[in-house]
Amino acid sequence: METLSLPIVRIVRENIAVLLTHALSRAPLEEIVQTQLSGEFKQFRETAFALSEQRAERACVELALLLRYLDDEQGLSESYEGHSRINFGYVTKGDGTIGDLKLRDVANKVIHARGFEWDTRLAKSPKLICLPREDQLWKSASIDVVALSVVCGSLIG
């Protein structure tokens, strides 16, 4: 069977490292800006937030595509269903009900998102919020970045 020549697991781990670093650094950087900087620091804000966020979004999309690939090839999400207590987050459906996200759902929500927001109110438990396109049947998805990083960072390959 033909497989990709890319080092898939390594790229997944690189992307989750970018995502985790960005998510965990946002709250401390926001505190620094609020408490230590007065006046306009446009370039610093762009460096600390905008550039990092763009790179994190790119990492999210790459990560989602590669997780779907691994799931299709190896049944990755099945191995975590029922055998793990890892909670990847939740989805708010169109009717307002809330459901748990499985690993494959995480990839799907990222792939089908029109955009992302970051919830860093709990600094040690950052969330990636996926915002749906108009044609989607869900209102939002909240992905636990730390939980996702545990799985992605533990892949062997």
3-class DSSP state of 37: coil
Q: Which residues pair with 128 in a beta bridge?
A: 118, 143
Report how far residue 61's alpha carbon sits from residue 50's, in angstroms, rounded to the nearest whole number. 17
Task: Summarize pLDDT for 3-26 with one digit per residue, the tens.
Answer: 667 899 999 999 999 999 999 998
Helix axes 52-74, 103-111, angle to 10 degrees: 130
* Terminal CA-CA length for the chain: 17
Task: Summarize pLDDT for 53-103 with one digit per residue, the tens.
Answer: 999 999 999 999 999 999 998 888 887 776 677 889 999 999 999 999 999
Contact call for residues 105 and 40 (beta carbons, < 8 A): no
pTM for the model? 0.88
Residue in 4, 23, 7 with CA at minimum distance from that of residue 147: 23
